[in-house]
Structure formats: structure tokens, C-alpha cells
Structure 1
Amino acid sequence: MSAKSPTGQALKYIVKYWDGLILFLTDGRVEMDSNAVKRTIRPIALQRKNALFAGHDAGAQNWAMLASLIETCKLNQSEPHSYLTSVITAIINGHKQKGIDQLLPWKFKG
């Protein structure tokens, strides 16, 4: 079989990514499919057209960062409004930049 045939190309792809393709078999943290990710990004994808009217690139980038934070909160069972209120309050009150890791959504206790 030629390596350039469609089947040869498919086999080459499988060999190249084999370790990643079977990772879910040895690591229980890795899901077998990407359904959870698809469910998570679906609201963002549905709002993509709204980002066209962000006004400018910086507005769209800010919207994307905020949407990412909100979805990350949801994935970590944190209420987004409480999280954002707490983080903004901490920053206003002088939270040190070197301790920024403590403000990440998965470390939020609230």
C-alpha cells in the first residue's frame, strides 16, 4: 500500500497521534469524547455574531476573555457573578500581582 494513498495517509495519522488517541484508556481524567467541551463552547459559538458588533477589536477581545472566565467558572461549579465580584474587589483592594494564581476560577471558594 502506498503511503500517499488515502488509507496510507489515515494510517500515518493514526501512528503519529496514537499516544494521544489512547490516553483516555490510562488516565481517568481524560474523557473519551469531546462532548463536554462542545457543550461548553456552544453558547460562545452562538454569540459569535454578537461579537461582530463589539465596536472594535479590543471590545471583542475583552468580550472573549470575559466569556472564557464565565464558562471556566461554570466548569468549576463557581457562580460567575460571585466570582467576578470577588476578583474585582480583591484587585481594587490591592491584591498582589504575584498572588494572581489565587484569583483563578478553580481556586475560588465562594
Structure 2
Amino acid sequence: MRHIDNGICDMVFGYIAGQSMSQKKHISILALKNANYASIVDARSVFKKANELLKAQGKKELFEVQVIGESSELVIEDGMVSVTVDLLSHEIDKTDLIIIPALRGICLVPGTTIGFL
């Protein structure tokens, strides 16, 4: 496996952060009913890991990551998985990036809704 130098990581994080590494970016991951739970958990993990790597390099954390939902808890995968949300959708004032998770087992038809979208 080839080592990726810090310059490349800095470029990638800079691009994601809108070319500004000095200001923390707010990431909202939507907790939607019919969501594939792994797409919520994995998205959160990627940004949390990025913060850990930055901290290990003596830099400030770049991302504030929050799972957003209509209620404080979302039960998915036929009751097998429970996702605790950080904020309710009406509590968000501003976010820099919204991540919409992959959805499972539904076919959208006119007049249907997906969670709080």
C-alpha cells in the first residue's frame, strides 16, 4: 500500500471545506425512514475519522458532524437498528453540507414522502 502524503490530504480536506481550512464546516446527515443504516453510520464515521487524523497532525478539527431527524430516535431495518439523532430538523439554523443516505426497498410514486424530505 502506498503512503499518501499530508499535502494530498490537505488538498482533499481543503476542497471539501470550500478552500477554507480555518473555519469548521457543519455536516448534516439526514436520518430518514427507509434509510440504509450503514449509509448514515459510514458517512458519520468518515468525517469523524477525518477530524481524528487532523487532530493527530496537531491541526484543528474541520467538521462538526450531526445526524438530523424528525424525532430523537429513528428505528429502521424492520426494528433491528435504532439511530439516535443529534438534532431535530427544526433545530437546524445553518449547515454547509447535507448528506442524504441511501434508501432501501422503496419505490417512489407521486404523493409519497421519504422521512422529512
Same fold, TM-score > 0.5, yes or no: no
Answer 1 or 2: higher relative contact order, Cα 8 Å, separation at least 6.
2
Q: Which of these two proteins has the greater Rg computed from alpha carbons?
A: 1
Structure number with higher helix proportion: 1
> Could you say which TM-score interval applies, normalised by the shorter chain?
under 0.3
When the two structures are superposed, what TM-score results if normalisation uses the length of structure 2? 0.25
Structure (1 or 2) with the greater strand fraction: 2
Q: What's the TM-score once normalised by structure 1's chain length? A: 0.26
